[in-house]
Amino acid sequence: MTDEAEKNAAHTLAMQALKAEREALMADKTDEAPGLLVVNTGDGKGKSTAAFGTVARALGWGHKVGIVQYIKGKWITGERQFFDKFPDQLRWEVMGQGFTWDTQDRAKDIAAAEAAWALSLEMLHDPSLNLVLLDELNIALRYDYLDIDRIVADLQARPRDKHVLVTGRNAKPQLIAIADLVTEMTLVKHPFDQGIKAQRGLDF
């Protein structure tokens, strides 16, 4: 037997063992999951980007989605222009007044966050929506624009089948504690550090 044939045979045996291990791992798992709470956080880029990818996935299955944006203002983004093509499946509300360093008005930011949460609650309890994305909610919580204990209680009281995505860096420990899936984006390199601004079609 040649070296290549030996490698192929060893690979086949390894994959057979891996398949058996995987099947054993999946044996006690279920498709009947309740609505999951997913948190994308961390200093790295891609938190909202990943969430919008999940939105696209849900729309692809014919699901209906609600989006509330907490911080980003009404500036034009590629994702907004793309998802506007799905008016029958998607409800998108931009509630933020812009980045906190732009508004420089804490009272205004708190009022905007409260209005956004009221709308979020409406979406969370809308039986027609399968998935709700609360984009940059973590930022509003980070600055204590909203009471974390109230938010946690409201999220836990949502309908059992409602999937929720929350994005933004510095997720509160209380939110992480109740989440089903938490992903932390780690910053390794960023073009901004090389003097490059956000790029249309890539970053927004």
The per-residue pLDDT for range 68-125, each reduced to its tens digit, is 999 876 778 999 999 999 999 999 999 876 555 566 788 998 999 999 999 999 999 9
The per-residue pLDDT for range 133-184, each reduced to its tens digit, is 999 999 999 999 999 999 999 999 999 999 999 999 999 999 999 999 999 9
The per-residue pLDDT for range 172-200, each reduced to its tens digit, is 999 999 999 999 999 999 888 888 898 98
The Cα–Cα gap between 119 and 77 comes to 21
Q: Determine the pLDDT at residue 68.
A: 97
Angle at 190 (CA atoms; ends 101, 67), nearest 5 degrees:
55
Angle between helices 148-156 and 106-124 (to 10 degrees): 10
Give pTM, 2 decimals.
0.87
